[in-house]
Homo-oligomer: A and B are copies of this chain.
Amino acid sequence: MFSKWPLLSTLRHYSLSLAGRDLLAASLVSLLLVPQALAYAQLAGLPAVAGLFASILPLLVYALIGNSPGVALSFGPVAVLSLMTAAALAPVATAGSAAYLQAATTLTLLVGTLLLVMGLLRLGFIANFLSHPVISGFVSGSALLIAVSQIKYLLGVSVDGLSLLQVLPGLYAQLGQVHQPTLILAGVSLALLVLLRNLHWLGVPATLAARARQFSALMVILLAMLLGALLQLESYGVKVVGEVEASLPPLLIPSLELPLVLTLLPAALLIALVGFIESVSIAQSLAMRKRQSINPDLEMLGQGAANIAAACSGGMPVAASFSRSALALQSSVATPLVGVFAALLMLAAVLGLAPLLEHLPQAVLAASIVVAVLGLVDLRTLRRTWRYSRQEGAAQLATLLGVLLHGVEAGILLGVGLSLLLFLWRTSRPHMAVLGQLPGSEHFRNIERFTTVQSDSVLSIRIDESLYFPNARYLEGRIAELLASRPQARHLVLMCSGVNLIDASALDTLEAISERLHSAGVQLHLAEVKGPVMDRLRRSNFLDSFGGHVFVSQYHALHSLDPTTTERARQLPASHE
Contacts and interface: CB of A to CB of B under 8 A. Distances in A.
Instruction: Give the size range of A's interface with the partner.
Output: 35 or more
A539 B428 CA distance: 23
Given A125-B428, A290-B520, 18 more contacts: A125-B474, A126-B424, A127-B473, A128-B428, A128-B473, A128-B474, A131-B503, A132-B469, A132-B509, A133-B504, A289-B520, A291-B480, A291-B487, A296-B477, A384-B540, A388-B536, A388-B540, A449-B531
Interface in A270-320: 280-281, 284-285, 287-294, 296
Interface string A455-489: 00000000011101111111011001101100100
A133 B293 contact: no
Contacts of A464: 500, 530
Contacts of A516: 285, 288-289
A127 B483 CA distance: 24
Interface in A98-128: 125-128
Contacts of A179: none
A293 B479 CA distance: 9
Given A125-B424, A423-B468, A539 B387 contact: yes
A387 B477 contact: no
Contact of A498 (B423, B498, B509): B498
13 contacts: A125-B429, A125-B470, A128-B473, A131-B504, A131-B505, A132-B505, A284-B473, A287-B480, A289-B519, A291-B520, A293-B484, A426-B501, A464-B500
A385 interface: yes
A559 B68 CA distance: 38
A513 B519 CA distance: 52
A471 B128 contact: yes
Contacts of A176: none
Which 6 A-B residue pairings sit nearest by Cβ, starting from the closest? Answer: A131-B469, A132-B505, A288-B516, A293-B481, A293-B480, A125-B428
A480 B284 contact: yes
Interface string A327-353: 000000000000000000000000000
Contact of A387 (B287, B505, B540): B540
A420 interface: yes
Given A516-B289, A539-B388, A540-B388, A505 B296 contact: no
A539 to B, nearest CB: 6
A431 interface: yes
A536 B497 CA distance: 22
A532 interface: yes
Nearest to A489: B291
One complex includes copies of this chain to the number of 2
Nearest to A501: B426
Contacts of A421: 126
Nearest to A131: B469
Contacts of A449: 531
Centre residue among A126, A423, A539 by max chain B CB count within 10 A: A423
Contact of A389 (B280, B388, B480, B536): B536
B473 A388 contact: no
A425 interface: yes
A512 B471 CA distance: 31
A389 B484 contact: no
Contacts of A294: 477, 480
A531 B483 CA distance: 26
Given A125-B425, A532-B431, A465 B507 contact: no
A392 interface: yes
A243 interface: no
A560 B499 CA distance: 30
A161 interface: no
Contacts of A504: 131-133, 385, 388-389, 392-393, 396
A129 interface: yes
Interface string A131-150: 11100000000000000000
B388 A472 contact: no
Contacts of A127: 473
> Which of A281, A505, A513, A517 lies at the interface centre, i.e. has the most chain B CB atoms within 10 A of its CB?
A505
A508 interface: yes
Nearest to A532: B431
B483 A291 contact: yes
A430 interface: yes
A55 interface: no
A532 B428 CA distance: 17
B530 A128 contact: no
Contacts of A67: none
A429 B385 CA distance: 24
A281 B131 CA distance: 33
Contacts of A30: none
A484 B421 CA distance: 37
A405 to B, nearest CB: 20
A465 to B, nearest CB: 5
A421 B536 CA distance: 20
A293 B475 CA distance: 12
Nearest to A483: B291
A504 B391 CA distance: 10
A419 interface: yes
Contacts of A133: 504-505
Interface string A396-412: 10000000000000000
Nearest to A517: B288
A473 B295 CA distance: 12
